[in-house]
Amino acid sequence: MRKRDRRSRGLVAAAVAALVGVAGLTGCDAVGGDSPGPSGTAVRKPSPKPTPAWDRSPASLAAVGDSITRGFDACSVLSDCPEVSWATGTDTAVNSLAVRLLGKAGAARNSWNYASTGSRMADLPGQMAQAATRRPELVTVMAGANDACRSSVSAMTSVAEFRTQFEDALDTLRSALPKTQVYVSSVPDLKRLWSQGRTNPMGKQIWKLGICPSMLGDADSLSAAATSRRDRVQDRVESYNTVLEEVCAKDRRCRFDGGAVFEYRFGTAQLSHWDWFHPSKNGQARLAELAYARVTSRTPAE
């Protein structure tokens, strides 16, 4: 009996020890202790993909957009002057983005201007396709003013269409050049351009030829209807800029200017002395400065 009792007591003690060990393991796991669970049960979260470094000194550049990037009315009345373009021009008075990044000789060899006077966002996918053939390391975008500068407020490009067209343009570039960087300028403050240019009689005569009638039409009128019309155009421009910012933010190699061009307070020195609406050489130089600061900043927000 004694041997059997000792044997029974030994078996009970072993069973108790085993139960205590199991309880200890499950107890730590239940209360969220620091000890890891049993081998093979841990779930590892996938490591996030690193954000690609922004190249602050690209070796080539292509520009897409509208009349501003073509230097329209900066050298002579109602004509393009791409040599003073803020993006790709070679005129030393402007010191374009391409010249700042590549030098004057480099800008002449390795920058291309596919912007077109009068173009709207709907034209940007085609321009992007042209730019992609050059395989540039950076593409600059300045488009949207002509989507607001229409014959009437009702003819302006809708915000939804504008978004789709800009997305299509970036998709066109990405399908050919997934790693090319993109700098996107905000649409200028058209209402400020009206307020600056309306004091010049010659400029207002040029406006009557059809320059941005939705904003510049009946330039001297301060009636409720005229004011409402200009405010609606301005609201649309601000909505366009929101779209540019949001769509660009989804692309890991795209930088929006943060509204720098829209917020820049263009004065008469920065406006063409032929139409008092498009940038003069001085205005083109200021656009180049804004772009260079954004492209070469260490972070997108600087």
- Condensed to tens digits (0 to 9), the pLDDT of residues 169-210 reads 999 999 999 999 999 999 999 999 999 999 899 889 999 998
pTM: 0.82
- Mark whether 159 and 104 lie in a shared domain: yes
Is 133 contained in some domain? yes
Residue 140 pairs in a beta bridge with: 63, 183
Is 290 contained in some domain? yes
CA distance 39 to 104: 63
Q: State the pLDDT at residue 49.
A: 56
Report which of residues 109 and 10 the model is more confident about.
109
Q: Is the pLDDT of residue 8 over 50?
A: no
Give residue 26's pLDDT band: very low, low, confident or very high (50, 70, 90). Answer: very low
Is 138 contained in some domain? yes
- Mark whether 27 and 130 lie in a shared domain: no
Is 191 contained in some domain? yes
Q: Is the pLDDT of residue 48 over 60?
A: no
- Mark whether 98 and 232 lie in a shared domain: yes
CA distance 272 to 169: 29
Give residue 51's pLDDT band: very low, low, confident or very high (50, 70, 90). Answer: low
Q: State the pLDDT at residue 91.
A: 97
- Mark whether 13 and 68 lie in a shared domain: no
Smallest Cα–Cα separation from 63: which of 95, 86, 81? 86
- Mark whether 8 and 92 lie in a shared domain: no
- Mark whether 106 and 24 lie in a shared domain: no
Is 132 contained in some domain? yes
Look-up of token digits 């609201």: 235
Tell me if 189 sits within 8 A of 263, measured CB to CB: yes
Q: Is the pLDDT of residue 2 over 80?
A: no
Which amino acid, residue 83? E
Tell me if 282 sits within 8 A of 91, measured CB to CB: no
- Mark whether 36 and 115 lie in a shared domain: no
Is 54 contained in some domain? no
The model's pLDDT over 89-142, given as tens digits with 9 standing for 90+, comes to: 999 999 999 999 999 999 999 999 999 999 999 999 999 999 999 999 999 999
- Mark whether 133 and 216 lie in a shared domain: yes
Give residue 53's pLDDT band: very low, low, confident or very high (50, 70, 90). Answer: confident
Is 125 contained in some domain? yes
> Into how many domains does the chain fold?
2
Is 277 contained in some domain? yes
Give residue 302's pLDDT band: very low, low, confident or very high (50, 70, 90). Answer: low
- Mark whether 73 and 106 lie in a shared domain: yes
- Mark whether 25 and 74 lie in a shared domain: no
Longest CA span, the chain = 124
- Mark whether 285 and 225 lie in a shared domain: yes
Domain that holds residue 43: 1-49
CB count in 10 Å sphere of residue 298: 8
Q: State the pLDDT at residue 84.
A: 98
